[in-house]
Each structure stands twice: as C-alpha cells, then as structure tokens.
A and B are shown apart, each in its own frame.
Chain A
Amino acid sequence: MAIKVFLLLLFLSCSHSVFSIYQDQVGLMDWHQQYIGKVKHAVFHTQKAGRKRVVVSTEENVIASLDLRSGKIFWRHVLGADDAVDEIDIALGKYVITLSSEGSILRAWNLPDGQMVWETFLSGSSPSKSILFVPANLRGDKDNPILVYGNGCLHAVSSIDGEVVWNKELTVEGIDVQELIHPLGSDVIYAVGFGGLYQFDSCQLNAKNGELLRHEKAEFPGGFSGEISSVSSDTFVASDAAHSILVLISVRDGAINFQQTYISDLVQDFSGTAVLLPSKLTGIFSIKIDGFVVFVKVIDEGKLELVDKIDHGAAVSDALPISEGQQAFALIQHEGNKIQLTVKTGHDWDDDLVKEGIKMDCERGLVHKVFINNYIRRDMSHGFRALIVMEDHSLLLVQQGEIVWSREDGLASIIDVTTSELPVEKHGVSVAKVEQNLFEWLKGHVLKIKGTLMLASPDEVAEIQRIRLKSSEKSKMTRDHNGFRKLLIVLTRAGKLFALHTGDGRVVWSLLLNPLRESEECSSPIGLKIYQWQVPHHHAMDENPSVLVVGRCAHGLDAPGVLSVVDAYTGKEINSLGAVHSIVEVIPLPFTDSTEQRLHLLIDANQRAHLFPKTHEAISIIQREFANIYWYSVEADNGIIRGHVLKDNCILEVSDEYCFNTRDLWSIVFPSESEKIIATVTRKSNEAVHTQAKVMAEQDVMYKYVSKNLLFVANVLPKGIGKIGSVTPEESWLVVYLIDTVTGRILHRMTHHGSQGPVHAVLSENWVVYHYFNLKAHRYEMSVIEIYDQSRADNKDIWKLVLGKHNLTSPISSYSRPEVITKTQSYFFTHTVKTIAVTSTAKGITSKQLLIGTIGDQVLALDKRFLDPRRTVNPSQVEKEEGIIPLTDSLPIMPQSYVTHILKVEGLRGIVTVPAKLESTALVFTYGVDLFFTRIAPSRTYDSLTEDFSYALLLITIVALLAAIFVTWVWSERKELQEKWR
C-alpha cells in the first residue's frame, strides 16, 4: 500500500502541481471574516446623510466607516503597526480627519468611499499630548482651519487641501498644552496647559496667523497631577499633585484664579487618591475615587457640589449638544445581567431623557466605552442611540432598549490558536435527520448531473452554487471522516476564548476567562498561550477534550501567572489557578496520565520547574522520566542560550513536591560585540515525519537528521538591528546556527556576509528555511539548510538489511557524536515577509509547501521543491525524474499559488496549519485583523474524490452499464439459440 501511495506521489510531484481554485469554488471550503478591533474613538455621521454611518478608530490602528443600521463595514483602512490613531473627527461634513503617529500625521479621507484626500506631515520638537480640534462648521462656506497640537507645536491646517496655514511652536513658551478652545466665530484661540509641575499657563493666539496675543501664568504651590478637565470655556478643573485637592481654575480677562476644594469635604470617608476622568461636560466633571465614580457640579462662584456617586464599572460618554445650549450625555451602569443606559442633560442631573435596561450577555464583561448619538423621533422628541464597547472588545449598537447589532471585534487581536476535534457522531442521531428528505437529495443530484453535462440553465447553476455553499455537511457539529470539521480555539487579547467552527467560521461558544480579567491581585493580565490539555482517545465518546490557557498578571516576566482549564465542547471553565508562581516558559511533556491529561512543566523566573497537574500520579510518571527531561532557555538580550535539566525537589518554607530545582547543563555565549540573537525557531512538536530516508537519484539513499531537539538561531551584528539600509554591507552579517538543545552542540554554523534581518524562519523535518535581506544584492533572500545524518549512511547494503546487521532500529542518543552533513542554497525572493509557516499533514507523506505571509497581507504557497539545495543548472535525466527543478537565482511567484486568492487578511500576524485526517490535505488558518480559513492539498487530493463529484452520475452510469450488459447478454443468448436451431 505504501509503495502505491509513494508511486502515486512520485507521479504527482513530477506533474507540475499548481494550487489554484476556480471561480465557483470560492467560499466552498474557505471563509473570510473582517474585523476592526477595539474601538477607541467614534464619530457619528447621521445628519443630512442618506446612509447613516459611524466612523471609528481602533486599537488595531484601523479606521473604518460602519453602517449604523447593520454594523457592516463600508470601508476600512489598516494603518501601519507604528501609526497609532490619536484622534478622529469629521470636517466639512465630507472628510474624515485622522491624527496619527503621536500627532505628526494628519490625513483626510473621503467619507463616502474612504479614499484619501490629502495627507500632511506635521513636525515638532518635543513629544507632547496630541489634540485635534475641528471647528464646527455650520455654514460650510468658510474654510475654518483645523487646529492640531502635536509634538509641542500648534498647527492650523486648511481642511480643504491639508495645507499648513500657520504654525506656532509652543514649547519655547514653556507650556505643555492640555486643552484647546476656539469659540465659534471668534478670532482668538485659547490654549491652556501646564508649564512645569506648579505653573498653570493660558495663551491667547490669533486665529488668523497664530500670533501669540497674550500669555498668562500663575503658580499653584500644591503642584498639579497633570490631568485637566474643562468645565466651561473659561473654567477648568485640575487636581493637585497629591490627588487630594481639586483646583478650580478660572481664566477671566487674562487673570487666573485658583480655588481649592478638598475632596474629603466633598466625599465622606475619602481616602486614597482621586483621578480626574477626562470628560467634556458643561458644568459637571467626574472623578474616580477607589471603586467609585463621583460626579461633581460646579455651581456659581466656584462652589462644588456632589451630585451622584456610582459604581466603578460604569462608563460615561462625552457630551452631545442636542439643542441650543443643551447637552446630553450617556451613563451606563451594570445591574446583574442587565445594563442600564441613562441619558441625562448637562444642566439638570435629576432629569433623565432616556432610561433603558438592556439584557447583556455576561460573557461580554464590563462596559468600557460608550458613544451616543441623537435622532428625532416620530413624535419630534429626542431619541438616542448608543455605541457600546465592551470588555471583550465587542461593539454593540443599542437603541430603544435593544441591541440592534453587535460585532465580535475581539477576534481582531488573536494571541494564540489551537484546535480541538468535534464530538464523535453518536448512535441515535441519524444522519438522515440532518440531511433533507430524499426528494430534496435527489433533486440536488439531478441538478448536479445537469451541471456536469452542461445542460443547466443559469438559474439552475446559481441554485447548484447555493446548495454547495449552504451544504449542511460542512457546518455539522460532529466529526467527519476526512477530519475537515474541527473547532479552532482562539485566545484574544481581551482574555476571551472563542471556539470557531472550521466549516463556516461561526462562533460556537465564547468565554471571558475570569483569571484574565482585571482584579485586585491581577492589575493588567495578559493571555500568553493555549495548550491542548486533554485529548481523549480511549473515552472519546463520553469525555470532552479540554485546553489549558496560560496567562500572566502583568507584563514583566516575574509577574505571577494564571492557569485555566476550559472544556473545548461546552466552553465552561473546569478549573482555574490564579496568581501562582511566575511563568516564564511552559513545556508540554510527551506524557499523559490515566485520564489522558497531558503533563506540563512550568518554569518560573527563579529557574524552578513546577509540575502541572498537581497529582500524585503525575509525580510518579515524572519520576520515571526524571533524567530524560531537557529544555533550553534563550536570553536574547544577553546573547546566551542555556540548557537545563531537572535536579531535585525545591527546598521552600512550605514543602512542595511538585516543585523541582534545575541545573544548567550547557551554555552558549555569543560575543556581545559581534552577535545579537534576533530569531529562534524550533520544530513543531506534533509534526509527523513519514520516512527518515531520502531516496536520491542513482539509487542512493541519504538519511535525514530528524531530531525534535533542533533549534535554529539567527544572529546579526548589534549595529544591524535597525531598519534595512541603516548599515553598510561591509559592517553587517547574519550568522545562523543549528543547535542540538539536549547537549548544546552546534551542528551547523554559517555566516551570510552583507545580510541583515529581520529573519523569518521555519524549521521542519530536517530542513530550515529562512528569509532575510541581502544588502549587497539589495534584495530579499531565502536560504535553505538541509541536514543529513551520516552515521546511518552505510545502511545501504541490502544484505545488511536482510540479515539485520544495521543500526536503524537502535535508539538514538544525543550524547553520541553526530556525524552530519548539511546542504545549503540561497535564492532571491521578491516579497517582504511577515511570517512563514509550513503545511503539516497527518502522516507527513504529502510533499510540503511553505506558506508565506507577504507584506500585502496575502498568503503565498510555495513548493518546498523550489527551495531544494540540490537544484543544479542542468539536472541530469535521473534528477529530473526525481523532480529536481533546474536552478534559478530567484524563487518564482505564481499568481495562482496565492492561498488567499483575491482576499486580504489585513494586519496578518500568524499562519497556523493543522493536519486533516485525509493525508493529502492540511487546514490553514490565517489571522490578523481579519481571519481566513481554507484547506489546501500541496500534492492535490490524490486520496479522495473532489467535493463536487457526482455520485449519482456514477451510479446511473453503473446501472446503465449493468442494464446494457444484461440486455446484450439476453440478446446474445437468443442469437446463439437461433444459431443452433438453424
């Protein structure tokens, strides 16, 4: 059987295989989802507009225009990773203005279609707060310039063409501007801010030319904390440096007055610190005092009055002018599984314009942000809609007490992905129930036959396509024979787990992990990785698989870790451990206990290893394998790689038998002046390798050096860390290493002179492919290293194999001196690369393809055969038969070989491949801001019929043939009889 498959493969690899699909196959086995990320700012555009829309900017540096009716994306732009959006606004009623890159790039986008209209770079001297002020333009005939404060410089920019009208350096005046005020129709711009810790500054500038008219200063002995909130156009509130006094600042006729109020006078039993919340309400400001938000009203003559005190989990929107001199704002509070939306007017606290309770899924967590917009109801009263950003980064539109639409934008920030099998189809649940009735089934097949025989009318073709796309087969919640249906379990930055169905990409369940939410012991938790915790094989029918989520409480390596085990079918948290020891590294061990839970070693910051799960059985398993557990650690900043091994039990105050001391076995120290680690890559632990031998031309055999302990390291000169072109070719090099991580042996070491990072690499079987920049050739290059084991090379004699005099079955020890040879080759490659992955199949028989995430956010499938170090200019006949491609200097990029065909995975970050049960096929999941899933067959689907294969046609053909045989048989019988009677 294996030979057959092999021959088949050989045949297929000889034929030039190109991965591409036909037009009518799009969406059949792939899906694409577009997201935007957690919304930071939102601006509504509903007045006098045919299509009501909201323009948002997000933490993924996306600006998007969303349909207010459905939440669909009208247009979207993903800015670069280092081009974070600071502010957005709408100018002239037709341009979206964005300020990004810390106040240095101002862009205008056309509102209807998202085309960029103009772009202006604003320079300044020192980093500062960035403020965008777009004057309200009611008449629309006059070009009021946009005011931008960024990098210590105030700019006035024409909103029509983006030209800088004037600019004024304000840092030379010693003022750090916090607020800009430009009263409508006035010729004077007011800028207020702080000059140092104790000084409050107020400036008046000429709106026409930026001339500084007046500059007032006043010192406050208590110092300022740096936050400021405007209460009216001439009154501001700040808090002192100790966060215990509120300072009301009024600027009248050029004179600055301070009025102090102790917070303890306002709020009873106040202790701790108060933080001023940024809000733009007239006459009211809010402060956050340990767990509460307090609203304070400014009455005449600088008196402060406490109006309300609400729970911490509340969100307040900015003020929205609803009519002349009237403002409204929204307030959202939590009440059990409901949220309470209240819209109040600025002048009267007790008057609620709207008070609505909305049922909310508790998996969405707390409300983080709220933006409101008003509309005129049929009875001419004011109606309000609110755009709500939740803790899990999802976006909801609420109107009339209902959720109109919601977007799962947490999926734009995936951290890690793992997969889980679906439940086995149980007896009793008949397949026929899921299928339509027999008549429907027959009708579908008749249509299919028509389609195959090209007899179908256009309507019928559309019907066939609809049936194919909506096939209930692919979105069933049970395992299939081919292993195409799985659950993708993804962890997002918000600390939420999602299970996506591979058939259609829908969310099967989602869970906001409690250990990864902000709490007192965990100030800023982050999710790190997901591991497969329990994969039942023996009891697959009645046990559910589960995953282990590892997180950390804060950003430092020594922050306490959190662990959580989640059921993969139901999405329920089974077990969680909060704030344990720090977790630097998690090592899944190749052992499972009797309940098929995988053993994990967690390495903490003090170089101690902790066993998880903490059971006695796990201890007994690890005692058996104690001496055979090795791991390594990379100190990238120091340039040191170390190997470790378990030593003995920890000696702590509290005895802990699950904790082990470790010791260093080996170390590699790279000279700090000439090498810096920029990339380390290992093999995927679950990768299957079909055969160790590689049959060469001329009946020769080479043995692959297949080791799970291979580590690829790429180093560059410390100078060459920067951007490409920052160093000359003479003073830059790239050194690559292949290291055995058990003994610390350097198996291969090679220098690329005149080359520079960034390096993207992938290690699989016995080869590594890496991508870097060649400064001498001014091009990107990809190199391949293949490593072969020479110690087994003399096992070629057939008699040796027959008589068993070979060493192929003896265990391999890392302590034997390796005899390896390497083959390398480099090729030019056109694209800049974001990430590289390799296809993985169930048995590893199918030839491999590299999946290259390009700078254009697409995925290119490149046959590994193109990166064969044995390619020569004129391959001999035998080599050609083996499938060796003639040597070229650059790798070909065929337009058909884009896995993502016409789609883009915006902000591409990672590519994950999972083997299907069918050997020829691999599932590919690509994530970034968007998600894309497809399945690919690097050597085509040689082991199955295609999806659109018409079984009915086959059946009919067979029946027809049988009938024909029967008829002809009868005929021939008869004829024979007649012959005999003649």
Chain B
Amino acid sequence: MRTRKGQFLLVTLLSLALLIWSSWAFQSDELLADDEEFGLEGGRSPDLDLIVPTRSAPSQPTRRRHSDPDSDSKVQFPLDHAFGDSDFSPAGTFSARLKTWSHGGQTLTKLRFSREAFTEMEKEKFKKLLENDDFYRIRVPSNVLSPPGRDHIVSSVKARCLPGDHLDEHFVIHMEGVNILAINYGSPGACPYPRQLKLPAKWSFNSRTVLKSSEQAPRTPAFAEEILGGENVDGEAVPPPERSFWAKYWMYLIPLGLIVMNAMTQAMNMPEEQASGQPGSQTQQTGAAVQRGQTASARRG
C-alpha cells in the first residue's frame, strides 16, 4: 500500500500523462469490488499535504485502446464539519479511484479517508456540543468531479453518539456515478436513548467508510409457460411419501384400543357382578325376612 502511494506521488509529480500510464499499470492485477469497507485509524497523516490534489485530473480520462475497456484516475473530495450552528470548516479528505467504464459510466472505487484530528479549539467546541446534546454536522460536495456540485450533502448526528474509547464514526456514502446522493453519518453501533454525557478517552477518530450504489430490483417472475408445463411434472416428481399404517391412523387406533380394553374389562367384571349381585339380593331378602320375623315376634311379644 505504502509503496503504491509512494509511486503515485512520484508519478503525479512527474506529469499528467505519466499519471495515466502509471494508474493503468496498477489497475491490471486486481479485482475491484464496488463495496469496500475498511477502517482507518485517525490522526493527521504527515504526508497529506504532499498529495497533489488530483481534482484537476481529466474528468473524462482519455480512452486509449479499443481492447482496454476501463480506465481509472484518482479523485479527492473534502469533508467539512460544523459544531452546532457554526460555519463549516475542513475536517478531512476522501480519496478514491475514479473508474471509467467502456459504456461511459463512471464509478468510484477504493475509497480512502484521511481524517484530521481536532485542534484544541475544536475540542472545546465539541465538549460544548456534548454538554448541550447538540448536533455535530458534516458535509461533502454532491459532485466529486466539480465540487460542490449543485449543493452540499449535509448530515448530522447528536454529538453524544460519537464518543467511545475513541471518537467512533461511520460513513455510508450513497453514490450514483460521480454524484453523491446522501451520506449517512453516525456511530457504528447503537446510540441508546437517553444519551449520556461521556467524554472520549482518546481524542482521535476511528472512522469507517462504506460506498454504496443502487441495487438492482429483482425481475418479475415470468414463468407462465413453465407453470403450464410444470404442473404435471411436479405432480409426478413429488409423490406424497408413503407412510406406515400405524403412522397414518394412530389417532383412531388408540381410542379404539381404549374402547376395546374398556369393554373387555367391563365384560370381565360383568359376570362377577351378576354372580355377586344375586347373593346380595338374597341377603337383603333374608334380612328383611329377619326383620319381619323380628317385628312379627315383637308383635307377638
């Protein structure tokens, strides 16, 4: 990374034409993804001032050969910040590769961010924001090639959301070609409400940046014919799995079994009851007879 940066520096110092050549040379060996996310430990980078801003780089890089589909160049755009209602002042620089596609579209890749640390005065201002639970605001140009474009893209966050161990910040930049639509700025994690007043342990930034472009909408399913043809196949292909007799009818079998068992026990008891029922009535009768006998005897007596 460092060597490449160094080379870049060298080349930009040499000439514009060479810049194109060199960047072409770099581009060959790597696959460029659209969404790249990487953090950068903050702090004023010493060589920042040395980077020659490539804003003047050709906005439409020359197309060289027919066989070569894409080309890229380097762009930079500033990040400004404001404390509450104060005016905006520079706070950092985004640098990225501008990739020109063969069909004419341009996209940014390999976004890099160098954040300037707070000066003492800014620290005081930020502390004041923390006390008042006020907004920390940032802005970027809406067009990276001709800043500020139509208007600045502004985003704000409650200052109390940022301090952690460091000042943790998270940028999601929504791009459309070379235009920035929106920048979502905030803490990388949660910012629970009510927000507590908390000073950062270290006054350095821990920044993460993500570039996002539009997703493609899924296509409407078009399978009218498939359905017509596929209906029969489906019916044949997925026959209902054959289940055992027990698995299918257990819910009927168990009650049936219970009923049968119940009936059996009843049938077992029945003869006994009948057998014992007969003597019972006899005893009663005899008892009654005894009573009658007694009463009769009593009368007699």
Q: Map CB proximity to A onto B124-158 as digits: 1 under 8 Å, 0 otherwise.
A: 00000000010101000011000001111111111
In the complex, the chain B residue whose C-beta lies closest to that of A749 is: B214
The docked-state distance in angstroms from the alpha carbon of A669 to that of B178 is 13
The docked-state distance in angstroms from the alpha carbon of A750 to that of B217 is 6
Which of chain B's residues 146-177 have a Cβ closer than 8 Å to chain A? 149-158, 161, 170, 172, 174, 176-177
Contact A667:B151 (CB < 8 A) given known A889-B220, A889-B224: yes
Contact A668:B214 (CB < 8 A) given known A647-B85, A813-B192, A887-B221: no
Among listed B181-189, B198-206, B249-257, B279-287, interface-contacting one: B181-189
B191 contacts the other chain (Cβ, under 8 Å)?
yes
Contact A668:B179 (CB < 8 A) given known A749-B212, A815-B191: no
In the complex, the chain A residue whose C-beta lies closest to that of B178 is: A671
Return chain B residues, CB-CB under 8 Å to A663.
85
In the complex, the chain B residue whose C-beta lies closest to that of A785 is: B217
B246 contacts the other chain (Cβ, under 8 Å)?
no
Q: Map CB proximity to B onto A730-759 as digits: 1 under 8 Å, 0 otherwise.
A: 000001100000011110111111000000
Return chain B residues, CB-CB under 8 Å to A667.
151-154, 182
Contact in complex: B221, A811 (CB < 8 Å): no
Return chain A residues, CB-CB under 8 Å to B149.
669
Contact in complex: B150, A750 (CB < 8 Å): no
Q: How far is the CB of A612 from the nearest CB of chain B, in Å?
A: 26
Option from A647, A744, A752 in Cβ contact (under 8 Å) with B217:
A752
Contact in complex: B150, A672 (CB < 8 Å): yes
Q: How far is the CB of A854 from the nearest CB of chain B, in Å?
A: 20
Contact in complex: A889, B222 (CB < 8 Å): yes
Option from A671, A815, A873, A889 in Cβ contact (under 8 Å) with B157:
A815
In the complex, the chain A residue whose C-beta lies closest to that of B223 is: A889
B277 contacts the other chain (Cβ, under 8 Å)?
no
A728 contacts the other chain (Cβ, under 8 Å)?
no
Contact in complex: B189, A816 (CB < 8 Å): yes
B1 contacts the other chain (Cβ, under 8 Å)?
no
The docked-state distance in angstroms from the alpha carbon of A783 to that of B189 is 31
Return chain B residues, CB-CB under 8 Å to A638.
150
The docked-state distance in angstroms from the alpha carbon of A751 to that of B224 is 25
Query: How many residue pairs bridge A and B at CB < 8 Å?
Result: 142
Contact A745:B158 (CB < 8 A) given known A669-B142, A675-B176, A777-B220: no
Q: How far is the CB of A645 from the nearest CB of chain B, in Å?
A: 8
In the complex, the chain A residue whose C-beta lies closest to that of B139 is: A667
Return chain A residues, CB-CB under 8 Å to B192.
810-811, 813, 816
Q: Map CB proximity to A onto B220-255 as digits: 1 under 8 Å, 0 otherwise.
A: 111110010000001000000000000000000000
The docked-state distance in angstroms from the alpha carbon of A725 to that of B186 is 42
In the complex, the chain B residue whose C-beta lies closest to that of A815 is: B191
Q: How far is the CB of B215 from the nearest CB of chain A, in Å?
A: 5
The docked-state distance in angstroms from the alpha carbon of A533 to that of B217 is 42
Return chain A residues, CB-CB under 8 Å to B156.
665-666, 743
Contact in complex: B217, A813 (CB < 8 Å): no
A670 contacts the other chain (Cβ, under 8 Å)?
yes
Contact in complex: B189, A824 (CB < 8 Å): no
Contact in complex: A671, B222 (CB < 8 Å): no
Residues of A within 8 A of B (CB-CB), count: 51
A137 contacts the other chain (Cβ, under 8 Å)?
no
Q: How far is the CB of B198 from the nearest CB of chain A, in Å?
A: 14
In the complex, the chain B residue whose C-beta lies closest to that of A869 is: B218
Contact in complex: A781, B220 (CB < 8 Å): yes
Contact in complex: A668, B182 (CB < 8 Å): yes
Contact in complex: B218, A735 (CB < 8 Å): no
Contact in complex: A827, B220 (CB < 8 Å): yes
Option from B150, B184, B186 in Cβ contact (under 8 Å) with A746:
B184
The docked-state distance in angstroms from the alpha carbon of A277 to that of B161 is 68
B15 contacts the other chain (Cβ, under 8 Å)?
no
B216 contacts the other chain (Cβ, under 8 Å)?
yes
Return chain B residues, CB-CB under 8 Å to A743.
155-157, 184, 186
Contact in complex: B220, A791 (CB < 8 Å): no
Return chain B residues, CB-CB under 8 Å to A783.
217
Q: How far is the CB of B158 from the nearest CB of chain A, in Å?
A: 6
Q: How far is the CB of A77 from the nearest CB of chain B, in Å?
A: 36
Option from B187, B194, B218 in Cβ contact (under 8 Å) with A826:
B218
Return chain A residues, CB-CB under 8 Å to B275.
none
Contact in complex: B218, A664 (CB < 8 Å): no
Return chain A residues, CB-CB under 8 Å to B193.
811-813, 815
A81 contacts the other chain (Cβ, under 8 Å)?
no
A774 contacts the other chain (Cβ, under 8 Å)?
yes
Contact A774:B220 (CB < 8 A) given known A746-B174, A816-B191: yes
In the complex, the chain B residue whose C-beta lies closest to that of A782 is: B220
A640 contacts the other chain (Cβ, under 8 Å)?
yes
A95 contacts the other chain (Cβ, under 8 Å)?
no
B5 contacts the other chain (Cβ, under 8 Å)?
no
The docked-state distance in angstroms from the alpha carbon of A225 to that of B170 is 65
Return chain B residues, CB-CB under 8 Å to A627.
133
Which of chain A's residues 878-936 have a Cβ closer than 8 Å to chain B? 887-889
Contact A817:B85 (CB < 8 A) given known A751-B214, A783-B217: no
Return chain B residues, CB-CB under 8 Å to A824.
217-218
In the complex, the chain B residue whose C-beta lies closest to that of A872 is: B221
B219 contacts the other chain (Cβ, under 8 Å)?
yes
A828 contacts the other chain (Cβ, under 8 Å)?
yes
Return chain B residues, CB-CB under 8 Å to A752.
217
Return chain B residues, CB-CB under 8 Å to A674.
176-177, 179
The docked-state distance in angstroms from the alpha carbon of A783 to that of B219 is 10
B190 contacts the other chain (Cβ, under 8 Å)?
yes
The docked-state distance in angstroms from the alpha carbon of A791 to that of B150 is 36
Contact in complex: A735, B189 (CB < 8 Å): no
Q: How far is the CB of A917 from the nearest CB of chain B, in Å?
A: 34
Option from B154, B157, B176, B222 in Cβ contact (under 8 Å) with A664:
B154
Contact in complex: A665, B222 (CB < 8 Å): no
Contact in complex: B176, A745 (CB < 8 Å): no
Return chain A residues, CB-CB under 8 Å to B194.
811
Option from A675, A746, A777, A874 in Cβ contact (under 8 Å) with B222:
A777
A115 contacts the other chain (Cβ, under 8 Å)?
no
A271 contacts the other chain (Cβ, under 8 Å)?
no
Return chain B residues, CB-CB under 8 Å to A735.
214
The docked-state distance in angstroms from the alpha carbon of A647 to that of B156 is 14
Question: Top 9 closest A-B pairs, CB basis?
Answer: A671-B179, A815-B191, A816-B190, A813-B193, A826-B220, A668-B182, A745-B184, A669-B142, A751-B214
Residues of A within 8 A of B (CB): 627, 638, 640, 645, 647, 663-672, 674-675, 735-736, 743-746, 748-753, 774, 777, 781, 783, 791, 810-813, 815-817, 824-828, 873-874, 887-889
Q: What would 4 more interface pairs be, CB under 8 Å, given A672-B150, A815-B158, A817-B187?
A: A663-B85, A743-B155, A750-B215, A873-B221
14 A–B pairs (Cβ distance < 8 Å), ordered by A: A665-B156, A668-B182, A674-B177, A735-B214, A743-B156, A743-B184, A746-B181, A749-B174, A749-B214, A777-B222, A815-B157, A817-B186, A817-B187, A889-B224
